[in-house]
Structure 1
């Protein structure tokens, strides 16, 4: 975590630090706005549903216009395309650019300073994949953990509190339990799917490595008439990849089915309870609308929870590979205690000198 954090936090740039704090403020503001809209919607519905008398200053007609205007004013700030989310996306652009720029240049410089034996053993195609995916993954980790998953759970908590004080604790429990059970089931099934996806990605890397290495060494393949051999290697690698791709897609369909089942059962349970209380004059139409709105508001981002979790999981794997690359040390290093070379007359004598880039394969 410490190795990754230094790339995400601009230690020497106060302007970027202020932008990070601003993005947090915008995120929290968006959560508060989203959590208040269903309650305001309830007030509008109840005001419209109340009997009115002409000339009554306390009639809902005297303030319904303000409620409707306020409701749609909040809608301008809510959601992915709202003002708050758009402002947050704008603020995050220079932050993500800094992170990717710093990490890519640091990794590029590090790889150039590794010894030749590393480059001989490491396949070029695989190395390029590790660097590209690793650099992208740090931005994904930051965006999806802090600005996608965290707001979902914060909004669930805030919404449950509002429902607790405006409706009934039972609805708060139904709402919270459904959403948290949805998240737990998504994580559990996604963890089960991980072995399929991880194997698929490894085989995809192998396919890419075969193509890049074969085309890079085009002349060598031609010299040894290796076209059929290379083609068969790629064909077998593709078949193996598609087998894991099939398992990944089937398990994704199962995940989507389970998610939809949980949401439908939770929404049905709460809706039946609200309808029952309305029939007993213990609730009103606004309560029914508010519960439905809260449920839909929370269910919409949760539909992408599995995608967010999978991206975070994959980004963590990619980042782990990049960190492993950054942990590589040159096998040939200058001794810190070596004395400086003083120019002057002298001679160089090679006596029993041996050298090799790889163990067991002497070059000199």
Structure 2
């Protein structure tokens, strides 16, 4: 397949995907990504798939070391608490602990090194796709002077795709695996009461997180709208600096921007209120659960059902468990935030272009010698960027070949519009 054929195929695929997007009312994450993927899919998938595969293997090793670390630490405490134990036993355990910590420390940077090229290339494709679509839109769209909000939408769309990739592949899977492994170890070492209480706490934790995440999504949508409006006011004022200065309109422009920033301030405070209440609620739940579990472990130690090392172990596993649950909550919030940002980007892609260009346009002569005698004629032309901005009204002009025409008129009479025509 030639380069031109591949280019035409790419254009056809993109046009089909955009048509699907325009016909779609829902912007759920599954449908959004399904429609967007054909437009940003690289020609060769195996390099990215290989990188992601190696990164997933590293994640599995990292999850295993996270679960094994507290267990080795409790073994060291148990060995050191017995005077008759030979010195070689804790030294060997300490050596194992050191190796696991080294592996755990190397896993994260290696994983990020493998994944970063995939993530940045995906973001580049999304940003370029958005810019290409903006250039395909009509002058009427760009005359609205939404430059500031458009740049924010493109940036958020590119960041959202990278965030979704990172969260889906490299945050959800390792934390779920670590959570299951930790609960299994707790059930084996302790008993069902500990696991039952933890599952109850996890259920309450998830419910609280879900409620506040929904509230945060609504607040984030409002924040995005307010942020876009503030950025639009700022960029529009700067782009029209000469006009603003000529009409001494600086106080009006500053007042508009100040009002937009005040609106942004209010929605930012509302968003932070939900974030803080969510953190307080989860913190209280974690504190109550931890206190109850430690009290149960202390009671079992007094009853000689557990040893001191196991008391240390349950504390370590609780810390890791809460870390995994907190990470999953971050994943949920981050996923929903990225969905909101991606919604704005897809809404931009769904804007229809009023003028569609042919894939293979008709070639016109580029020289007068090739075209022969020619003239330019406009007959009964009416034009306006919108019904409220009609510029030309039934105008007819004939420009014979080899002649020049000067168009003279007052400001706003349509001189520049004729040049564009």
**TM-score using structure 1 length:** 0.87
Deviation at 1:271, TM superposition (A): 0.9
Whole-angstrom CA distance in 2 between matches of 1:212 and 1:182: 43
**8 A Cα contact 1:278 1:285, kept in partner:** yes
The one of 57, 66, 86 equivalent to 1:34 is 66
Deviation at 1:332, TM superposition (A): 1.0
Whole-angstrom CA distance in 2 between matches of 1:332 and 1:139: 32
**Residue 64 in structure 1 maps to residue 90 in structure 2:** yes
Change (3 A) 1:265 1:11: farther
**8 A Cα contact 1:189 1:255, kept in partner:** yes
**Residue 200 in structure 1 maps to residue 223 in structure 2:** yes
The residue that corresponds to 2:47 in the other structure is 15
**8 A Cα contact 2:40 2:129, kept in partner:** no
**Residue 47 in structure 1 maps to residue 79 in structure 2:** yes
Deviation at 1:314, TM superposition (A): 2.2
Change (3 A) 1:72 1:174: farther
Deviation at 1:146, TM superposition (A): 2.6
The residue that corresponds to 2:305 in the other structure is 282
**8 A Cα contact 2:229 2:260, kept in partner:** yes
The one of 92, 96, 100 equivalent to 1:74 is 100
**Residue 315 in structure 1 maps to residue 351 in structure 2:** no
Change (3 A) 1:349 1:208: closer
**TM-score using structure 2 length:** 0.76
Q: Deviations over 1:31-72 (max 9, x none)?
A: 1211122222222222222351xxxxxx45442221121122
Whole-angstrom CA distance in 2 between matches of 1:9 and 1:341: 35
**Residue 241 in structure 1 maps to residue 264 in structure 2:** yes
SS at match of 1:12: coil
**RMSD of the TM alignment (CA)?**
2.6
Deviation at 1:218, TM superposition (A): 0.6
**8 A Cα contact 1:196 1:247, kept in partner:** yes
Deviation at 1:293, TM superposition (A): 0.7
Q: Between Structure 1 and Structure 2, how many residues are aligned?
A: 355
The residue that corresponds to 1:172 in the other structure is 195
The residue that corresponds to 1:56 in the other structure is none
Unaligned runs of 5+ in 2: 1-32, 393-421
Whole-angstrom CA distance in 2 between matches of 1:334 and 1:117: 16
The one of 108, 111, 134 equivalent to 1:85 is 108
The residue that corresponds to 2:407 in the other structure is none
Deviation at 1:6, TM superposition (A): 4.4
The residue that corresponds to 1:357 in the other structure is 385
The residue that corresponds to 1:184 in the other structure is 207
Which structure has more RCO (C-alpha within 8 Å, separation ≥ 6)? 1
Q: Deviations over 1:270-299 (max 9, x none)?
A: 111111111111111222111111111122
Whole-angstrom CA distance in 2 between matches of 1:299 and 1:34: 13
Deviation at 1:116, TM superposition (A): 1.6
Deviation at 1:302, TM superposition (A): 4.0
Deviation at 1:232, TM superposition (A): 1.5
The residue that corresponds to 2:406 in the other structure is none
Whole-angstrom CA distance in 2 between matches of 1:317 and 1:246: 18
Greater Rg over alpha carbons, structure: 2
**Residue 108 in structure 1 maps to residue 139 in structure 2:** no
Deviation at 1:301, TM superposition (A): 4.7
Whole-angstrom CA distance in 2 between matches of 1:60 and 1:177: 42
Whole-angstrom CA distance in 1 between matches of 2:72 and 2:41: 38
Whole-angstrom CA distance in 1 between matches of 2:310 and 2:128: 55
**Residue 146 in structure 1 maps to residue 169 in structure 2:** yes
Whole-angstrom CA distance in 2 between matches of 1:200 and 1:133: 13
Change (3 A) 1:177 1:8: farther
